[in-house]
Amino acid sequence: MIIMKKIALITSGGDAPGMNACIRAITKYCLNKKIKVIAFLDGYQGVIDNRYKALLLEDVDNIIHRGGTILGTSRSPEFKTKEGRVKAIEHLRKHEVDAFICIGGDGTFAGARVLSEEMNIPVIGIPGTIDNDIYGTDYTIGYGTALNTVVEAVDKIRDTASSHHRIFFVEVMGRDAGFIALNGAIASGADTALIPEEHTDVEELAKHLKQSAKGRRGTIVIVAEGDDAGGAKEIMQKVAPYLKGYSLRHSVLGHIQRGGAPSAFDRMLATQMGVFAVQLLEEGKRDLMVCFKNGRITSLDIQEAMKKKHIPKLSKLELLNQLQS
Ligand code: F6P
């Protein structure tokens, strides 16, 4: 068992609902064990600028239900430079931290890995992103909540789509990954999902929509923002010439998908992952990512997690097809 005195903590990259629950769990567990938590503000940028807060119990009281991150976040271009990292390492050394925990996505983990190499500090990554695009974990913190937000929004769009007999193209987040689009489509009863992992043939799509819109009150297509044929607006414009006489509309859900109170699942996931991250460090482990795999909280080499890609099960597209009329 390693006795630690101080750990550094950041949230980085796109915020995700449940990050606060994770910060709370880490802080409460550490303070119980007499480990100080130095939280740097606004991700890696706060480490470079030495903007920090030593977290106390009162800082993490009443935050489990709040979206966003109380620590702030950023995508720091300066940390990608050697000069930026020299400053960051100097500050971490000055604070005499024993380890570094970061909550975020693959960009965040890339930063942690470099830090571990250049400073020789134990790092642990906790996957927090609404995109769910991290290899090694079935779920990332925030993904479940974002899915619920998508379903709630699409339920509303369906009301107006069906009233006007329209085909609606709803754009959801996912620059590189189709998890939100695919599972959002299944959960909201959409007609189909267009995802970055699969090529979209516009002519085929138009043919399909013509067929499936027949006799239906409203048709919903969920489009991941990173689809190869474009976003919802672009795809709608591309299919329009093939769908003369049909009423087409699009809607971009945007950043509402990132906000809001975390679901019960995300709060549980975040709490378990946060405590587990500190326990790994106490066991003398380092350079790992915390995962939720097959119902268990476990860990994986952070470099391996970054090397591989987590892609949604394409059999789910087949499932959508099987439900089409
Ligand atoms: O958090 C991940 C993500 O939501 C992506 O799905 C999206 O493309 C991106 O962040 C948007 O980032 P930003 O808020 O920096 O524009």
Output phi, psi for 199, to 5 deg.
-70, 135
Q: Do 146-258 and 6-142+262-307 fall under one CATH topology?
A: yes
Are 212 and 219 contacting, i.e. CB atoms less than 8 angstroms apart? yes
Token pair for 214 = 């027949």
- Cα gap 60→9, rounded to integer Å: 13
User: Which residues, other chains included, contact 120 with Cβ-Cβ below 8 Å and sequence gap of 6+?
Assistant: none
Q: What is the mean pLDDT of the segment spanning 69-94?
A: 97
User: Which residues, other chains included, contact 80 with Cβ-Cβ below 8 Å and sequence gap of 6+?
Assistant: none
Name which residue sits closest to atom 10 of ligand 1, judged by CA: 14
Instruction: Give the number of the atom of ligand 1 that is nearest the alpha carbon of residue 15.
Output: 1
Instruction: Give the number of the atom of ligand 1 that is nearest the alpha carbon of residue 75.
Output: 15
**pLDDT tens, position by position, 283-313:** 999 999 999 999 999 999 999 999 999 999 8
Total residue count of the chain as it appears in this document? 325
Please give the share of the chain, as a percent, with pLDDT higher than 90: 94
**pLDDT tens, position by position, 1-14:** 889 999 999 999 99
287 belongs to the catalytic site? no
**pLDDT tens, position by position, 30-55:** 999 999 999 999 999 999 999 999 99
Which residues have any ligand 1 atom within 6 Å of their CB?
14, 129-131, 173-175, 225, 258
- Looking at the predicted structure, is the pLDDT value of residue 325 above 70? no
Which residue, among 314, 317, 313, 315, has the nearest Cα to 185 in the 3D structure?
A: 317
State the distance from the centre of ligand 1 to the C-alpha of 225, rounded, in angstroms. 10
Cβ atoms < 10 Å from Cβ of 237: 14
Of 15, 140, 175, the residue with max ligand 1 atoms within 8 A of its CB, to mutate for a pocket test, comes to 175
pLDDT for 216 equals 82
Which residue, among 149, 175, 158, has the nearest Cα to 249 in the 3D structure?
A: 158
Q: What is the mean pLDDT of the segment spanning 125-132?
A: 98
Are 290 and 277 contacting, i.e. CB atoms less than 8 angstroms apart? yes
- Cα gap 98→105, rounded to integer Å: 22
State the distance from the centre of ligand 1 to the C-alpha of 107, rounded, in angstroms. 12
Question: DSSP string spanning 4-37?
Answer: -SEEEEEE-SS--TTHHHHHHHHHHHHHHTT-EE
Q: What is the pTM of this model?
A: 0.96
State the distance from the centre of ligand 1 to the C-alpha of 282, rounded, in angstroms. 33
Of 42, 145, 258, the residue with max ligand 1 atoms within 8 A of its CB, to mutate for a pocket test, comes to 258
Q: What is the mean pLDDT of the segment spanning 216-230?
A: 95
Question: Tell me, which fold does domain 146-258 have in CATH?
Answer: Rossmann fold (3.40.50)
18 or 214, which is more confident? 18
User: Exposure pattern of 139-155 as b/e (b: 16+ CB <10 Å)?
Assistant: bbbbbbbbbbbbbebbe
User: Residue ranges of the domains in the chain?
Assistant: 6-142+262-307, 146-258
CA dist 130 → 62, 202, 211, 279 (Å): 22, 27, 33, 25
Q: Is 277 helix (H, G, I), strand (E, B) or coil?
A: helix
Among 131, 191, 227, 287, the active-site one is 131
- Cα gap 174→130, rounded to integer Å: 9
Are 6 and 97 contacting, i.e. CB atoms less than 8 angstroms apart? yes
DSSP secondary structure code for residue 134 in this structure: -
Are 91 and 45 contacting, i.e. CB atoms less than 8 angstroms apart? no
| CATH class label, 6-142+262-307 | alpha beta
Instruction: Give the number of the atom of ligand 1 that is nearest the alpha carbon of residue 174.
Output: 6
CA dist 177 → 116, 198, 300 (Å): 28, 10, 21
- Cα gap 277→299, rounded to integer Å: 9
Sign of CA dihedral 291, 127, 265, 46: positive
